[in-house]
Amino acid sequence: MAVLTPEAAGLAGPAVALSGARGVDLTQVRAYGDTLDDGQVMLTFSLPVPFGDEAKEAGRQLVRQMGLHEPQVYHAHDLGEGFTYLILYAKSPFSVDFTKISVPKVTSTKLDHTAIERLWSGHYGNARLRVLGACTGDDAHTVGIDAILNYKGYHGDKGLESYKCFEIKNLGAQVPNEVLLQEARAFGAHAILVSQVVTQKDCHRSNLAALIDLAEAEEIRDQMLFLCGGPRLSHPIALELGFDAGFGPGTTPGAVASYLVQRWVELGRQP
Amino acid sequence: MASSLSVPPTLVSDFAPTVPGFSCPALNLDAASVARARTLARNAAEEVQQFTASRTTVSVERTILRLLGVSGATADGQPLVNAVVDHLHSAGLLASGVARPFLTAALQHGMSPQVLAEQVAAERIDLRPVSEGAAPSPSDQKALLALGDQLGRAGLGRILAQRQTRDSQLQQLGCGTQPLRYVIVASGNIYEDVVQARVAARQGADVIAVIRSTGQSLLDFVPEGETTEGYGGTYATQANFRLMRKALDDVGAELGRYIRLCNYASGLCMPEIACLGGFERLDMMLNDALYGILFRDINMQRTLCDQRLSRRLSALAGLVINTGEDNYLTTADAVEAAHTVVASTLINEALARSSGLVTNQLGLGHAMEINPDFPGALTLEIAQAALLRHLFPGAPLKYMPPTKHMTGNVLRGHVQDTLFNLVGVLTGQGIQLLGMMTEAMHTPHIHDRYLALESAQMVFGGGAALGSQLQISAGGAIEARANETLAQALALLEDISAAGLRNALSRGLFADIARSPSGGRGLNGVAERAADYWDPCEELLQSELVRLGHLNADGGAQWPY
């Protein structure tokens, strides 16, 4: 285990710009509790076994099988009906090479409201980008799509309706994929935003993948930008499912607006 | 007028005990505004009830068939009540009600309602000629009325018998203290739900709510049987109700505490689910007069008609209804639109009372969803919660935790929920929907519920008498905020009163969502009652609600103010 020295911690000598925490070897990064490379991790789970010493030992053994060392049960609780809840800490010996990590990202830079509108009008004047939004499948949770599209927006950031460069149609909840594409054609949509909140049994993934399949079958996949968002979605997952971009929790309308306008300009398409 | 059913009159059991000192600190509200707001809400409700009393819907007619003794489904899963109602509705015969042709045919063929419904579903008996036939002879008419009376009594009697069972179990076992700890199960598989619910009861839960599969509110039928597949929840079916009821009775008997069961009488099958809930002794139902219109785009005429019967049956069943105002503010801004919650609870109260629900059945829901980072958020939360508490004295208000501001940082979420529990106990709420730290990320894991219950136990135990020990400063921020919200709610109610509730809904006065009277789902299942409309249960139900003290002798609502 590396020992952090005053120099490495920046307590002695001139401050050095580092890309990680001070003293860390970015080719071998381990979990951190209070000492570099201590590998401390917390785990919490329930087991379908009765509460007692055997349940705690079962927890420890399970954690060892995960490859972790020195598992300690901090807390165990009898849930009844033959279940036990456990909180454990353990040490992880594993490391990752941080210098080799590559994560696909939405490449647009985040612009402010005026800059977005200016970028658009500079290319397309008074034309508008038609954006169609919906929660698809059985999903009835419109909080996310509403936060992005509605004028009011989210977290103090106004929604897409507030931009002069967008024409918005929000289909709301529980829209079947077929209907969404029908509406997209009728509306002449340039971009489709799909929100998926319900994720039980991974229904969000199958539902999103089905939309892309359908769009491909109808030969309109390449005519529009397909975006998705939701608490359990991210840009890499979106790419994997065949979307152009994906947005995770905490995304503000401005981030989506920035992407849409920059991507459209980048593609050199006319609205 | 028929004589009363065989069950002796009982009062609805007291909702749940409180620990000494449990109350909300006094709050100085403008009394004239409160009185005016209640009057306006009552006027809006009366207008709606007049509209609904002259209409029927496919789901109302299916409910009547269920009360008359029809249950089950065809081999391909179509409920028999749907088969019979669709059969008549497709011939344009909804407006007269299904009871007359159905019971006339039952008499002609000498069949029980169940057997007749099976025959109709199998297309072996056609009810349409019965409906269009010549007027019945006086003796046939007498036999028809007698059969309707007999079957209607039996159906309503099943609901009353379950109410009595609840009353006696509550007397024998007792139940948890207020605020009742309310948790959800939502695995999608009723058998897993049963395990999760029993564990939750052992960890201190007083109410188990089985969340429905997402999308069920838009199904125009109630699925049948025990189900193991659902998304975001588990289908509400009569068989699932029965299975969970039994599990909670068993664990409740062991724990010495009656465990309440909650489901959703909402969506396109609102009155049918209330009826099934009555048959299977559910204790609470999510049941909001406006929610489906706003958030599920169900046609407003349909929902307003359906809520009336669903609430009359819930009144008879001794059920507590929970309204869904929490959702308003996930759409509209919590700080600016708090008054819409207040206005809506007042209207929901007025509609509920006019259908026979009494004070201790009014689990009016509220939640403010204020961003916890907003300066003074906790002050605002307390102000809103205290305002609602003082507007509805004695009602078991249901207080709901923030969901919009859960971030995925589950530990932060646990703290938010804990603060929320503190507000709940401090302001004397009746039912506390316990927040889950993993809200917005996944449906609760078995230990999410335990951690929530353990936290609630600590806060409710430690904070039980806080409300009687603290005072809200006269002229301070809490009092000012409560009165400001009340004043805005009153202004909104004035607008609604001037426009009428249906117009107000179409102008987007609630939750920033506008719905037109002819838009949304389910309008084709609504009909204005024809002159010969007949529902053999309606008068029986009314007289039972009067007899049990839910309505005044003249059929009017019980207003305690």
Q: Is residue B146 part of a domain?
A: yes
Both tokens of B255, joined, read 């724990």
What is the predicted pLDDT for the residue at B403?
Answer: 80
Task: Give yes or no for residue A105 having a pLDDT over 90.
Answer: no
Stretch A65-69: mean pLDDT, rounded? 98
Cα–Cα dist B526/B56, whole Å: 6
What is the predicted pLDDT for the residue at B147?
Answer: 98
| Structural contact between residues B166 and B318, judged by C-beta atoms closer than 8 angstroms | yes
Mean of pLDDT over chain A: 89
Chain A: closest CA distance from residue B330 (Å): 6
B390 in the same domain as B500: yes
Task: Give yes or no for residue B5 having a pLDDT over 80.
Answer: no
Expressed as residue numbers, the domain containing B132 is 68-151
What is the predicted pLDDT for the residue at A182?
Answer: 94
Q: Is residue B502 part of a domain?
A: yes
Stretch B254-282: mean pLDDT, rounded? 97
Whether B296 and A173 lie within 8 Å, measured CB to CB? yes
pLDDT band at residue A15, thresholds of 50, 70 and 90? very low
Per residue in A207-266, pLDDT (tens digit) is 899 999 999 999 999 999 999 999 888 999 999 999 999 998 888 999 999 999 999 999
The residue whose two tokens read 């979420």 is: B413
Per residue in A216-228, pLDDT (tens digit) is 999 999 999 999 9
Contact list in B for residue A203 (CB cut-off 8 A) is 231
What is the predicted pLDDT for the residue at A54?
Answer: 98
Cα–Cα dist B384/B387, whole Å: 5
Residue B551, SS3 per DSSP: strand
- Quick one: how far is CA B444 from the chain centroid? 23
pLDDT band at residue B132, thresholds of 50, 70 and 90? confident
Cα–Cα dist B209/B346, whole Å: 24
Residues 166-195, chain B, touching A (beta carbon < 8 A): 188, 195
What is the predicted pLDDT for the residue at B440?
Answer: 77
Q: Which of A152, A158, A169, A201 is catalytic?
A: A152
B354 in the same domain as B333: yes
Contact list in B for residue A44 (CB cut-off 8 A) is 447
Whether A232 and B195 lie within 8 Å, measured CB to CB? no
- Quick one: how far is CA B531 from the chain centroid? 31
Domain count, chain B: 2
Per residue in A144-200, pLDDT (tens digit) is 888 898 877 777 788 898 899 999 998 888 889 999 999 999 999 999 999 987 766
Nearest CA in chain A to B298: A173
Cβ-based burial of B35 (10 A; exposed 0-12, middle 13-18, buried ≥19): exposed
What is the predicted pLDDT for the residue at A16?
Answer: 43
> Which of B187, B192, B328, B447 is the best residue to mutate to test the A interface, defined by the most A CB atoms within 10 Å of its own CB?
B447
The residue whose two tokens read 């289909």 is: A171
Q: Does B445 touch chain A (CB under 8 A)?
A: yes
Per residue in B360-386, pLDDT (tens digit) is 999 999 887 788 888 999 999 999 999
| Least confident stretch, A125-129, A195-199, B8-12, B476-480 | B8-12
Per residue in B306-316, pLDDT (tens digit) is 999 999 999 99
Query: Which residues is A44 bridged to in the sheet?
Result: A87
B323 in the same domain as B389: yes
Mean of pLDDT over chain B: 92
What is the predicted pLDDT for the residue at B123?
Answer: 96
Residues 178-217, chain A, touching B (beta carbon < 8 A): 197-201, 203
**Orientation angle between helical segments B477-499 and B338-354, nearest 10 degrees:** 60
Domain final residue pick, B151, B184, B208: B151
Nearest CA in chain B to A204: B231
Q: Is residue B156 part of a domain?
A: no
| Structural contact between residues B445 and B405, judged by C-beta atoms closer than 8 angstroms | no
Chain A: closest CA distance from residue B338 (Å): 16
Domain final residue pick, B103, B122, B151: B151
Q: Which of B264, B283, B288, B398 is catalytic?
A: B398
| Least confident stretch, A124-128, B146-150, B440-444 | B440-444
Whether B297 and A172 lie within 8 Å, measured CB to CB? yes
What is the predicted pLDDT for the residue at B372?
Answer: 87
Q: Does A143 touch chain B (CB under 8 A)?
A: yes
Q: Is residue B299 part of a domain?
A: yes
Both tokens of A124, joined, read 């397309």
Stretch B57-72: mean pLDDT, rounded? 98
B329 in the same domain as B307: yes
Contact list in B for residue A195 (CB cut-off 8 A) is none
> Which of A46, A51, A79 is the best residue to mutate to test the B interface, defined by the most B CB atoms within 10 Å of its own CB?
A79
For B198, the closest of A81, A146, A174 (CB atoms) is: A81
The question of whether B235 is a catalytic residue gets the answer: no
| Least confident stretch, A165-169, B77-81, B279-283, B399-403 | B399-403
How many CA atoms are closer than 13 Å to the CA of B140, on its beta-carbon side? 14
pLDDT band at residue A34, thresholds of 50, 70 and 90? very high
Q: Does B213 touch chain A (CB under 8 A)?
A: yes
In this structure, which amino acid lies at residue B378? Answer: L
B326 in the same domain as B348: yes
What is the predicted pLDDT for the residue at A201?
Answer: 66
Percent of chain A with pLDDT over 70: 92
Cα–Cα dist B333/A151, whole Å: 12
Q: Is residue B308 part of a domain?
A: yes
Per residue in A40-53, pLDDT (tens digit) is 999 999 999 999 99
For A79, the closest of B199, B231, B333 (CB atoms) is: B199
B296 in the same domain as B379: yes
Task: Give yes or no for residue B44 having a pLDDT over 80.
Answer: yes
Task: Give yes or no for residue B494 having a pLDDT over 80.
Answer: yes
Biggest alpha carbon distance in chain B?
75
CATH of domain A113-267: 3.40.50.280
Task: ipTM value, please give it.
Answer: 0.90
pLDDT band at residue B294, thresholds of 50, 70 and 90? confident
B310 in the same domain as B386: yes
CATH number at residue B389: 3.20.20.440
Chain B: closest CA distance from residue A258 (Å): 23
CATH class of A40-98: alpha beta
Whether A140 and B214 lie within 8 Å, measured CB to CB? yes
Q: Does B227 touch chain A (CB under 8 A)?
A: no
What is the predicted pLDDT for the residue at B425?
Answer: 97
| Structural contact between residues B365 and B321, judged by C-beta atoms closer than 8 angstroms | no
Span(s) in chain A for CATH 3.30.30.60 = 40-98
What is the predicted pLDDT for the residue at B39?
Answer: 97
Task: Give yes or no for residue B152 having a pLDDT over 60.
Answer: yes
Cα–Cα dist A211/A203, whole Å: 12
Task: Give yes or no for residue B120 having a pLDDT over 80.
Answer: yes
Q: Is residue B206 part of a domain?
A: no
Phi-psi category of residue B360: left, alpha or beta, with phi > 0 → left and psi -120 to 50 → alpha: alpha
Q: Is residue B303 part of a domain?
A: yes
